[in-house]
Structure 1
Amino acid sequence: MTVGSVFLAPFLGRVAESALLQEQVASHRLVTLLGPGGIGKTRLGYRLCDQLSEGSEQPVWSVDLAELADASVLGSAIAEAMGLPAASDQVSVEALADHIGDRDALLYLDNCEHLVDGCAELVTALLQRCGRLRVLTSSRQPLRVRGERVYPVPPMTGADARELFVDRATAALPEWSAVDEDIVDQLCAAVDAVPLAVELLATQVGVFAPDVILARVTDRVVRGGTVRGSLPRQQSVDACLQWSYDLCSEQERLLWIRASTFAGGFTIEGAEGACSGSGLAAGDVAGAIAGLVDKSVLARDAHDPTGRYRMLEIIRQYGHDRLDEAGEREVWRRRHRDYYLDLAELFERDWCGPRQKSWMDRWRPERANLRLAFDYSVSSADEAPCAMRMAAVCEHFFASTGGGGEALHWLKLALAHETGTDLERASALRIACFIANLVNDLPAAATLFDELEALAEESGDDLVRALMLYAGCVVRTWQNDVEAGARLGAEGIELLHRIGGQIGLEANLHFLRGMVLGWADQPEESAVNYRGCLDLTEPRGERWLSSYSAWGLGLDALLAGDVEEAIRLERSALEAKADFQDQLGIGLATEVLAWAAAAQRRGRDAAILLGMAESIWDAIGMSIAAMPYIARRREAGVADTRALLSGADFDDLVGLGRSLPQAEVVDIALGRRVAQPAVSAVATTLTKREREIARLVASGATNKAIAEHLVISVRTVESHVENLLRKLEVATRAQVADRLAELGV
């Protein structure tokens, strides 16, 4: 799987460079693409990722670090790219290494220059722990660690630069044709065939004739006084950026530099909210965006249904520099944060209603911008209360999508400042307590609750006390004191009802108390609380909490022996949770459906569902052992399923459930798909490329013949053969054919 940037224009040329880079990565475990901005490092790196992903099942993870301002969340960003949600506020090297394991894999870290020290430390640690991992980085400076192979990315060849210019020029003006190739070659040579500079020049053919473009850009590079770069190639890029900037209208210039405060793209609405004012009216933002798209300063992501716009990092950095020159970066970073603060507060007010899925879909592409907003807010005592006011995003979005550890990180940093009103601090402490328990950081949860308890006593405010009772219900329950948890929950519900106007909190606490009473083996009282939650949520069209209550009622039904009703309720919960992509909810519903399948003697389905649930708990860093009630039920479900299958079949089917795409297993759980026979666990560890090579080895092909057939290096073939011999547990190539036949591969 490759996670990274989506490029809207085709990759052109660079055939020799791509082949050389592939050889370098095959021969060295750490390769750094080195060069100035605009030279093409990023595109070349992602091109390699695409090539390695084609025809191979080895993991290929890519992370754009340009969006990160804080090296402390580097591990979280990598974990997110790996599909390994952050399970603590600081994702450890050990957690990443455990996920990578002994697999052939590539990790691509793009734009490392502003986080060089952090990248160097993390990459070194990963390479030491994961013997088959290879790392590719791109940076304007080397990491300078042992074993690093630096690959200086050259400018394009003359022919490649000409092809790029013609392609981008005809995209900008379809009727344009290169009537004079010599002028095009001169244009490319004037900017040292630096890809970004070539692209920027090509977009101007709709406004200027090529000879006019040549005269103007040559003048700028020669004068040099209007550019900041010291190296000739960097001066070429800066000259093109400066010229593009000069060609913009005043409103387009203002939007360019202000929009550079965004990370990971933005919508028109976001630009209107964060960039308007002082010379750029909100009503003029759409026109300015259109102008910047025409000039290739912005690109619209056609694959994003919300219509997001992105800047190349070097163009974004140019905007940053202009903000610095104007002394306005602080102003517009605050405006950026204020936009997301307003959005977060609207989200909190609107959450307990029918638009929950729309909100979750809206937040998903905004994770990088939320990071920037939190980073700005926790940077000073004066701004920290804003992070506390954004805490609802941590509770509902980050925690449910596997980013609980990162959310806890931001809340801890905000609370470390002794600012904020009692209510702001109490709200943040309640959510931090909940998330700390969720990611199994029980000591942190206890410390945070102690602070909240003292604050409630000091404050005398009823709502602050209610928030403390809510947190106490969670913390005491996770400490296995369910009696205290249930008591605090009841007090909290009563107080919230008396205060009034806190429907979301009251409903949530009804659900939590229902779960606590279930842990205490009191299913009747548990059901009363689940229904109390539904009484508050269903009339409002709310689905998030309602589906959790359906899960709880389904579990109660299963324990009461009504398996059909349990399956009906759990499937309704799972359908909603899959819609939300709520991993915690999907895991809980899948667990109960597995136990129900075992009760109906559907051993194959039960084992596959248990496997998927296991993979979710691993991914979100949640320990079933920390929830004794669920742990006991799971142990019984596993025992019942094992009794229906042979030991080998059970292990293979659980392994299948862990490895299948989640959507497929959800379909099995919902009764939409029939579970297929399990493939041998050994066979499932072979990647698509390894299976291909194994068949060629079985046919008697030599490594050289395989390399020529697959158009890869002999060294790469040798590595694959070594891996497949180990996985197939055979000593010689001659044994491969018999082993493949035995496994049915």
Structure 2
Amino acid sequence: MRDHQRTEDPVPGNLPLELDAFVGRTAELAGLARALDASRLVTVTGPGGVGKSRLAARAGAGRTPRDGVWRAELAPLRDPEFVEHAVVEALALTDHTARPPLDALCDHLAERELLLLLDGFEHLVDACAQLVGELLRRAPGLRVLAVGRRPLGVPGELLFPLAPLGEDDAVRLLRERTERQGVPLADDPDVRELCRRLDGIPLAVELAAGRLRALAPRRLLDRLGDRFRLLDGGPCDGLPRHRTLRTAIGWSHELCTPPERLLWARLSVFAGTFDLEAAEYVCSGDGLPSDDVLDVLARLLDQSVLAREETPAGVRYRMLDTVRAYGAEWLTATGDAERLRRRHRDWYLGLATWCELEWFSPRQHEVAARVEAELPNLREALEHCLSEPDGTHLGQYLAGSLWFHWVGCGRLAEGRHWLVRCLEPETERAAARGAGEQSRLKALWVLGYVAVLQGDPVTALGALEECREAAERVASPTAMAYAEHRRGCLALVTDDMACAERLLRSALERYREIGELNSNVLMGQVELAMTRAFQGDLADAVRLCEDVRRVCEDHGERWARGYALYVLAYAAWREGELATARELLTEGLKGAHAFRDLLGSVLAVELLALVTVAEGDPAEAAVLQGAAAGMWPSVGLPLFGSAYYNAPHERCEALAREQLGDERYARGVREGTRLGREAAVARALRGGPADGDRALSAVPAPRGAVARGAPEGAEQHEPAASRTRRGGETAG
């Protein structure tokens, strides 16, 4: 398969932008391009710091597969179980279902043509090899460019060993980096000798460039020779390049002041990126005052030990994996590693607590971005909680406090992973020996909530009943309210409206009694409104959701507000107010998509399809139904398998088929199914295809379609009262 793309279209993907010049490697780039043409799996190998990641990213940027180039960074992962999750995340694939992430990946990639760049897999080689082998077998349009210090060992793998830079390129790199810092550097014998002594390893050259602001090349050469003549001082694999790299890092470490070495070691407890506040809390004390952390961190930046990044969550810092590993060895040698890991855990427990509170505030989008950026560190904190004999209840608290991220930001599968681990029998016994019943109750109702949204009523009911019984035993009105609320939500999606209304009203009354008000409570009121709408009382549904909308606007809440807008749009459609319904759905879809809330997005697209056919455009309605059909497999059972939720879908399909005919309707659905999530949402928000991209959607609707598409009364949209209520008795 040769990569192809229309030249006027941008190639989708998530490759990082290059912040500084790419120097040399012309022959290597050409060779890697040929390797990618020849094999569906190419692995760039070489020692840490030799430039594998940068070369692979530059090579990936030169490819133009139809469905893009996507990079999954695996270095921050510790748990092999998260390799598949990391690839799901890298592909921006939101999957709400309970199916394994491998199945979601294979379904997503089955008919796509893209390049997947797996960076930093060497500590997870078995899990990565298994995943890559399976993906290549089941996705014929996939190519994989892997980056690591060893081969994957997958059949068909083509190895691309990367050597260090030649002397001329190493000198060019050193001069470019120092000139960027305002330090002009002549191409003299000392500079060339320095690059030779560093074996042309780019990371070593970058570290040297950071030091040349303060020392002349000759001084650096003297220090290198004096301190590391024997190239010892730690474990190595015997290869000269590897020893040189370790020497270069150790040399840079030796040139640091004691506070700089101390901070370097302590920063190694972070996974992925971190911000200044976290560094100040976790790393200060015992020889490093909090007020000094910023200055010391700035000096590590100057020396290229750290890199600075601008992200949606603000300025963050990153330490290369090789540099972090060196710092971790020093931290272990000081005997302070366990204390620093506990401080790291405590900071992220506090951060999760703050974020849960601030989720119900005008800072909701800021919270979403912050947790997304901190996810590697939150995973590290969760692992640490579960590794301690008395830390299980802390893990339950942390996993439960992140409910808004699991549910509201498209991470149901990962949330379930952590919640199940925290509630496993062996960890439960550990928790029972300590104090943590409230944390356990919270983890139970959050697990129940996640399972409801994943379409797993058995797990949901088990967790929620266990939560309810334990809440009665320990007299926890808060846990009782949440358990009852989520049982009502389960009854709603399994079509037992009477049970759902009873449970949701009771839960809302309990919330009022204990003074609870947050996004969960508002969602309970939205769900109650949905039961009223499905039972024909549109006025009550509108009243409830207008109240939710007012409260959301008072508090700056946007996530629950989107679901209230959905119910209001449903009521507007039922009343024939199509312009109002479209306006409400468009606003709600924008918000849901910004949060990566796939459930909110697909519900809005489904209802927009119905509004579209009622407006007289059955062809575009068919495309939107196809787009929704393409999204549902990543959400769960389409429309929850609910007759109530499905009735508008069935009406839209009937109207569109009537006006288009079966063949043209099916063609429109196929067109929509081929849209990716981003394209589907963009099309729904535009109200039609982009200019120059009209296909079936250009087919005009027959005259009179608006009148035939408009709702004719509540009774025709309600499922028959005699329809089977699946799961109603158990849900109640």
Match of 1:376 among 381, 384, 395: 384
Structure 1 window deviating more from structure 2 (665-674 vs 462-471): it is 665-674
User: Aligned pair 1:23/2:31, yes or no?
Assistant: no
The 3-state SS of whatever aligns with 1:301 is strand
- The alpha carbon displacement at 1:575 in A equals 4.0
Residues in 2 aligned to 1:44 and 1:275: alpha-carbon distance in whole angstroms: 33
Residues in 2 aligned to 1:322 and 1:4: alpha-carbon distance in whole angstroms: 33
Cα 1:393/1:629, change in 2 over 3 Å = farther
Checking the alignment, whether the CA contact within 8 Å between 1:89 and 1:407 is kept in structure 2 is: no
Which residue does the alignment assign to 1:154? Answer: 163
Which residue does the alignment assign to 1:128? Answer: 137
- The alpha carbon displacement at 1:554 in A equals 1.5
Equivalent AA in structure 1 for residue 233 of structure 2: T
Which residue does the alignment assign to 1:638? Answer: 653
Residues in 2 aligned to 1:89 and 1:336: alpha-carbon distance in whole angstroms: 31
Residues in 2 aligned to 1:595 and 1:578: alpha-carbon distance in whole angstroms: 20
- The alpha carbon displacement at 1:127 in A equals 1.8
Which residue does the alignment assign to 1:437? Answer: 452
Cα 1:460/1:608, change in 2 over 3 Å = same
Checking the alignment, whether the CA contact within 8 Å between 1:301 and 1:308 is kept in structure 2 is: yes
Residues in 1 aligned to 2:365 and 2:312: alpha-carbon distance in whole angstroms: 17
The 3-state SS of whatever aligns with 1:61 is strand
Which residue does the alignment assign to 1:470? Answer: 485
Cα 1:5/1:257, change in 2 over 3 Å = farther
The 3-state SS of whatever aligns with 1:399 is helix
Residues in 1 aligned to 2:263 and 2:670: alpha-carbon distance in whole angstroms: 51
- The alpha carbon displacement at 1:555 in A equals 0.5
- The alpha carbon displacement at 1:458 in A equals 2.4
Equivalent AA in structure 1 for residue 40 of structure 2: R
Cα 1:158/1:667, change in 2 over 3 Å = closer
User: Aligned pair 1:337/2:345, yes or no?
Assistant: yes
- The alpha carbon displacement at 1:674 in A equals 7.1
Which residue does the alignment assign to 2:173? Answer: 164
Equivalent AA in structure 2 for residue 341 of structure 1: L
Checking the alignment, whether the CA contact within 8 Å between 2:259 and 2:296 is kept in structure 1 is: yes
- The alpha carbon displacement at 1:69 in A equals 0.9
What's the CA shift string for 1:298-356, capped at 9, x where partnerless? 11124657111112221122122222222333222222222121111112223323222
What's the CA shift string for 1:57-107, capped at 9, x where partnerless? 243222110111111111111111112124356734232111111433322
Match of 1:67 among 62, 65, 76: 76
Equivalent AA in structure 2 for residue 301 of structure 1: E
Structure 1 window deviating more from structure 2 (575-584 vs 308-317): it is 575-584
User: Aligned pair 1:306/2:317, yes or no?
Assistant: no
Residues in 2 aligned to 1:69 and 1:585: alpha-carbon distance in whole angstroms: 32
The 3-state SS of whatever aligns with 2:408 is coil
The 3-state SS of whatever aligns with 2:315 is coil
What's the CA shift string for 1:594-626, capped at 9, x where partnerless? 211211113344344334433433444463243
Match of 2:127 among 102, 118, 121: 118
Residues in 2 aligned to 1:459 and 1:63: alpha-carbon distance in whole angstroms: 45
Equivalent AA in structure 2 for residue 23 of structure 1: R
Which residue does the alignment assign to 1:361? Answer: 369
Equivalent AA in structure 1 for residue 155 of structure 2: R
Residues in 1 aligned to 2:688 and 2:611: alpha-carbon distance in whole angstroms: 17
Residues in 2 aligned to 1:293 and 1:192: alpha-carbon distance in whole angstroms: 23
Which residue does the alignment assign to 2:724? Answer: none
Residues in 1 aligned to 2:477 and 2:640: alpha-carbon distance in whole angstroms: 34
Residues in 1 aligned to 2:635 and 2:297: alpha-carbon distance in whole angstroms: 38
Residues in 2 aligned to 1:102 and 1:582: alpha-carbon distance in whole angstroms: 24
User: Aligned pair 1:526/2:541, yes or no?
Assistant: yes
- The alpha carbon displacement at 1:175 in A equals 4.1
User: Aligned pair 1:189/2:196, yes or no?
Assistant: yes
Match of 1:144 among 153, 157, 160: 153
Residues in 2 aligned to 1:521 and 1:32: alpha-carbon distance in whole angstroms: 60
The 3-state SS of whatever aligns with 1:52 is coil
User: Aligned pair 1:423/2:438, yes or no?
Assistant: yes
What's the CA shift string for 1:626-678, capped at 9, x where partnerless? 34322221121233233343556545554555556766765664568875465
Which residue does the alignment assign to 2:405? Answer: 397
Checking the alignment, whether the CA contact within 8 Å between 1:497 and 1:506 is kept in structure 2 is: no
Equivalent AA in structure 2 for residue 35 of structure 1: G
What's the CA shift string for 1:560-617, capped at 9, x where partnerless? 3332332333234334434544333232223222211211113344344334433433
Structure 1 window deviating more from structure 2 (368-377 vs 530-539): it is 530-539
Equivalent AA in structure 1 for residue 103 of structure 2: E
The 3-state SS of whatever aligns with 2:446 is helix
Which residue does the alignment assign to 1:205? Answer: 212
Q: TM-score, normalised by structure 2?
A: 0.86
Unpaired stretches in structure 2, ≥5 consecutive residues: 1-11, 697-732
Checking the alignment, whether the CA contact within 8 Å between 1:337 and 1:377 is kept in structure 2 is: yes
Cα 1:404/1:4, change in 2 over 3 Å = farther
The 3-state SS of whatever aligns with 1:307 is strand
The 3-state SS of whatever aligns with 1:378 is helix
Equivalent AA in structure 2 for residue 60 of structure 1: V
Which residue does the alignment assign to 1:691? Answer: none
Which residue does the alignment assign to 2:25? Answer: 14
Residues in 2 aligned to 1:383 and 1:302: alpha-carbon distance in whole angstroms: 34
User: Aligned pair 1:215/2:226, yes or no?
Assistant: no
Q: What's the Cα RMSD here?
A: 2.7
User: Aligned pair 1:491/2:506, yes or no?
Assistant: yes
Equivalent AA in structure 1 for residue 447 of structure 2: A
Which residue does the alignment assign to 2:625? Answer: 610
Cα 1:560/1:491, change in 2 over 3 Å = same
Residues in 2 aligned to 1:32 and 1:143: alpha-carbon distance in whole angstroms: 7
Residues in 1 aligned to 2:172 and 2:492: alpha-carbon distance in whole angstroms: 65
- The alpha carbon displacement at 1:504 in A equals 4.3
Match of 2:52 among 21, 25, 41: 41
Match of 1:293 among 293, 297, 301: 301
Q: TM-score, normalised by structure 1?
A: 0.85
Cα 1:598/1:305, change in 2 over 3 Å = same
Equivalent AA in structure 2 for residue 291 of structure 1: R
Equivalent AA in structure 2 for residue 120 of structure 1: A
User: Aligned pair 1:269/2:277, yes or no?
Assistant: yes
Checking the alignment, whether the CA contact within 8 Å between 1:517 and 1:523 is kept in structure 2 is: yes
- The alpha carbon displacement at 1:32 in A equals 1.9
Residues in 1 aligned to 2:281 and 2:605: alpha-carbon distance in whole angstroms: 41
Residues in 2 aligned to 1:92 and 1:362: alpha-carbon distance in whole angstroms: 24
User: Aligned pair 1:281/2:289, yes or no?
Assistant: yes
Structure 1 window deviating more from structure 2 (404-413 vs 353-362): it is 353-362
Equivalent AA in structure 2 for residue 84 of structure 1: L
Residues in 1 aligned to 2:56 and 2:227: alpha-carbon distance in whole angstroms: 30
Aligned residues: 677
Unpaired stretches in structure 1, ≥5 consecutive residues: 682-745
Checking the alignment, whether the CA contact within 8 Å between 1:86 and 1:404 is kept in structure 2 is: yes
Which residue does the alignment assign to 2:43? Answer: 32
Residues in 2 aligned to 1:394 and 1:653: alpha-carbon distance in whole angstroms: 39
Residues in 2 aligned to 1:206 and 1:643: alpha-carbon distance in whole angstroms: 75
Cα 1:649/1:67, change in 2 over 3 Å = farther
What's the CA shift string for 1:695-744, capped at 9, x where partnerless? xxxxxxxxxxxxxxxxxxxxxxxxxxxxxxxxxxxxxxxxxxxxxxxxxx
Percent identity for Structure 1 against Structure 2:
33
Cα 1:655/1:12, change in 2 over 3 Å = farther
Checking the alignment, whether the CA contact within 8 Å between 2:352 and 2:402 is kept in structure 1 is: no
The 3-state SS of whatever aligns with 1:66 is coil
- The alpha carbon displacement at 1:413 in A equals 0.8
Which residue does the alignment assign to 1:698? Answer: none
Checking the alignment, whether the CA contact within 8 Å between 1:433 and 1:471 is kept in structure 2 is: yes
Residues in 2 aligned to 1:554 and 1:309: alpha-carbon distance in whole angstroms: 43
